Amino acid sequence: MNAQDETVMRLLHYFITKKNYNPIILHGIQNEIWLENLNEEYRVIRIVSNHIHNNEQMNFDMFKTKRISKQIKGKTLTLSLNMLNIYTDLSENVDLTEYDNKGMKCIKVENTNDFKKYSEIAGIELLNVEADPKKGMDLFVKLSSDISKKTEKDAIESEKIFKLKKPTITYALIAINIIVFILMYILGNGPDGYTLIKFGANNSSLVKDYDEYYRLVSAIFLHASLIHLFFNMYALYIIGPQLESFYGKIKFLIIYLLGGIIGNLFANIFEANTIGVGASGAIFALFGALLYFGYHYRVYLGGVIKNQILPIIIFNLLLGFIYTGISSAAHIGGLIGGAILSMAVGVPNKSDNVEKTNGKIITLILLGFLIWFSIFK
């Protein structure tokens, strides 16, 4: 390897294996490597090995880079995208200080001796492999092997998360809802007001004045009509298997049930003295969980979240404001609760202990606030 090849390989080795950056696939881009880690100060690292010999070429390079970064922002739902541009073949005629601005930093790294000049790459260790021509292949094999192992490990972890597992909890929840709906006809008069109350519909007065707290849970499994049941179960059938695979069965069940309870508490505060039934609050909690998961994996799911999930959520929220009989408060409460509960249980391979602890604290504060205002105030 020549000096430039070694420099690029060491940079890749450092950012991929030590700083957990991942390559960004960009079609039509040559002599550049783009890396992303949305949890780092510099969310995108760009390594440029193409020769740039004057300011005119540099201006065009910056124009092209900013255009691509805007596309990445849109795909990853990111408002701010700090980028570090590393140039390994830059003419002395180009002054990089002219191109440093908010969100964009440019540095020149021609060989390994330049690593210590910049704090962003000062942590690169010069591995114990000689870089003379005879040992160049040993160095290449060592660096390439480390990068390949890290990439393979990341691929296995991603496959484990995104691989669809058998959604037993989702199917069990659907079955329970259907069985309860049938029992309302067998043991009552169908989904009329009296039967719904008898089976545990949510009502702020009954919960607060008669201590019937079970209604916050039982109401999640009741539905006011066959159409009501069908639409909620269809939504659960569509979104449930994905979330159950992403979070695991126990965490999925926690988000569903606690999210539904939070939705019902919201309804008791903002829509007092109404009869509330339905799984929609819990289903909106799953939407909130999907948004939170998608935010952490927005490199993979940013387009899906923006083009599919957000429009569905907004559309359903608008329906609640337009038509009577739909609990907008339960929907909003479930959506908020699902996002916060997702923080508490953690996103696989993304959330650290600090984030999960903060999520648990916020969840307890929210539940305490809702219980106080809906039951004790």
Positions of the chain with pLDDT lower than 50, given as ranges: 128-131, 133
Which tens digit of pLDDT belongs to each residue from 76-131? 777 788 999 999 999 988 988 888 887 899 999 988 888 888 988 988 875 544 44
83: β partners: 44, 104
Task: Please state the three-class secondary structure of 88-152 as a single string.
Answer: CCECCCCCHHHHCECCEEEEECCCHHHHHHCCCCCCCCCCCCCCCHHHHHHHHHHHHHHHHHHHH
Which of 161, 189, 208 is at the close of a domain? 161
Asked whether residue 309 falls in the same domain as residue 181, the answer is yes
Sequence-ordered list of residues with C-beta below 8 angstroms from that of 52, at least 6 positions apart, any chain: 58, 61, 87, 89, 90, 91, 94
Give the active site residue among 280, 327, 328, 342.
Answer: 280
CA distances from 300 to 23, 72, 227 (A): 12, 11, 34
Asked whether residue 309 falls in the same domain as residue 283, the answer is yes
Asked whether residue 215 falls in the same domain as residue 250, the answer is yes
Which pTM was predicted? Answer: 0.83
Asked whether residue 154 falls in the same domain as residue 183, the answer is no
Containing structural domain, residue 184? 165-376
> Nearest 10 degrees: CA dihedral of 202, 197, 255, 262?
0
Asked whether residue 182 falls in the same domain as residue 310, the answer is yes
Please give the tally of structural domains in the chain.
Answer: 2
Residue 299: its pLDDT value, please? 73
Q: Are 258 and 284 in contact (CB under 8 A)?
A: no
To the nearest 10 degrees (0 to 180), the angle between helices 328-345 and 280-296 is: 40
Asked whether residue 154 falls in the same domain as residue 169, the answer is no
Which of 110, 132, 161 is at the close of a domain? 161
What are the tokens at 32?
Answer: 């550049």
| Sheet strand arrangement including 44-48 | 22-23, 32-36, 44-48, 83-87, 104-108
The CATH number that applies at residue 203 is 1.20.1540.10
Which of 161, 193, 219 is at the close of a domain? 161
Give the active site residue among 13, 245, 331, 351.
Answer: 331
Residue 128: its pLDDT value, please? 46
Asked whether residue 114 falls in the same domain as residue 253, the answer is no
Write the DSSP symbol of residue 164. P
Residue 298: its pLDDT value, please? 80
Asked whether residue 27 falls in the same domain as residue 61, the answer is yes
Asked whether residue 71 falls in the same domain as residue 106, the answer is yes
Asked whether residue 52 falls in the same domain as residue 190, the answer is no
Q: Are 337 and 366 in contact (CB under 8 A)?
A: yes
Asked whether residue 115 falls in the same domain as residue 202, the answer is no
374 has catalytic annotation: no
Asked whether residue 233 falls in the same domain as residue 317, the answer is yes
